[in-house]
Amino acid sequence: MAGHSKWKNIQHRKNRQDVARGKIFTKLSREIYVAARQGGGDPDTNQRLRLAIQKAKSANMPNDNIERTLKKALGETEGDHYEEITYEGYGPAGVAVLVEVLTDNRNRAAADIRHIFSKQGGNLGEAGCVAWMFERKGVLTVDREKTDLDEDSVMMSALDAGAEDFESSSDSFDITTSVEDFETVKEALENEGVSFTAADITMVPQNTVPLAGEDAKRMLKLMEALEDNDDVQNVYANFDIDDSQLENY
């Protein structure tokens, strides 16, 4: 998951820019809304809601916004209603792409996603065409420069707590867990003073497609175009691109 993981780090940097425009607050509000609608308004018993609120707070979203969204989700105030849709397709060189959408207009979202795939050299596929290539996992990302612990210490602590995998890159550690063990591993590392640049339940590809040159550039443009769409919450893809090409993007 090296290329995909590296892209997520770039995305987090872009998200910090989005915060200044307030754009990311809209997506975070929708995630809180749907999580509360599906699993109730108590974050202690609703893992998805708990993670959504944590992400909102880490992005410095005001508590008033969070409370207002929860009230809408629980029917205490009027507001838009969102539905959750997953689109599947292919990018350059057959890269598998999953797009998670939260929208108040299904027809608009479908047209927009189809247009983005077509414009950026991809193809929107049928339901189920690529979902089998991904597994839902917990992923914790640690900034190497922001932890006092060395690689071996973080790795051993993660594995001892139940992590399934540990990957090291030039600027981060990526820890993969089962969904069930995600919070146990996260809490164990936090107790040792480890903080995370990202802590999500996400879709991890089972294998990757190496990309370079124009295919790599086209894939990154497709990813960015999808993530810039207001209805899109998450984009997952199974590409692997050399770090140097990602760094310069």
For 70-106, how does the pLDDT look when each residue is reduced to its tens digit (9 = 90+)?
988 888 766 677 889 999 999 999 999 999 999 999 9
Is the residue at 248 inside a domain?
no
d(CA 206, CA 135): 7
d(CA 249, CA 244): 9
CA angle centred on 122, ends 117 and 127, rounded to 5°: 75
Least Cα distance to 4 among 248, 216, 189 occurs for: 216
Q: Do 190 and 91 belong together in one domain?
A: no
d(CA 201, CA 140): 9
Q: Lowest mean pLDDT: which of 10-24, 64-78, 113-127, 160-174?
A: 10-24
Q: Do 219 and 123 belong together in one domain?
A: yes
Is the residue at 33 inside a domain?
yes
Is the residue at 249 inside a domain?
no
11-16: average pLDDT: 53
Is the residue at 30 inside a domain?
yes
Q: Do 146 and 33 belong together in one domain?
A: no
d(CA 157, CA 192): 9
Take residue 177 and report the two structure tokens written for it.
């867990």
Is the residue at 78 inside a domain?
no
Q: Do 138 and 198 belong together in one domain?
A: yes
Q: Are 108 and 231 in contact (CB under 8 A)?
A: yes
For 41-65, how does the pLDDT look when each residue is reduced to its tens digit (9 = 90+)?
999 999 999 999 998 988 888 899 9
Take residue 57 and report the two structure tokens written for it.
């707070």
Is the residue at 247 inside a domain?
no
Q: Do 67 and 24 belong together in one domain?
A: yes
Is the residue at 121 inside a domain?
yes
What range defines the domain where residue 236 resides? 83-132+207-242
- Tell me, what CATH number does 32's domain have? 1.10.10.200
* DSSP per residue, 34-90: HHHHHH-S-TTT-HHHHHHHHHHHHTT--HHHHHHHHHHHTTSS-----EEEEEEEE
* DSSP per residue, 114-155: HHHHHHTT-EE--TTSSGGGEEEEEEEEEEGGG-SS-HHHHH
For 124-163, how does the pLDDT look when each residue is reduced to its tens digit (9 = 90+)?
999 999 999 999 999 999 988 888 888 999 999 999 999 9
Take residue 13 and report the two structure tokens written for it.
């940097």
Q: Is the pLDDT of residue 24 over 70?
A: yes
User: What confidence category does residue 3 fall into, taking pLDDT thresholds of 50, 70 and 90?
Assistant: very low
Counting the structural domains of the chain, the total is 3
Q: Do 201 and 115 belong together in one domain?
A: no
- Tell me, what CATH number does 181's domain have? 3.30.70.980
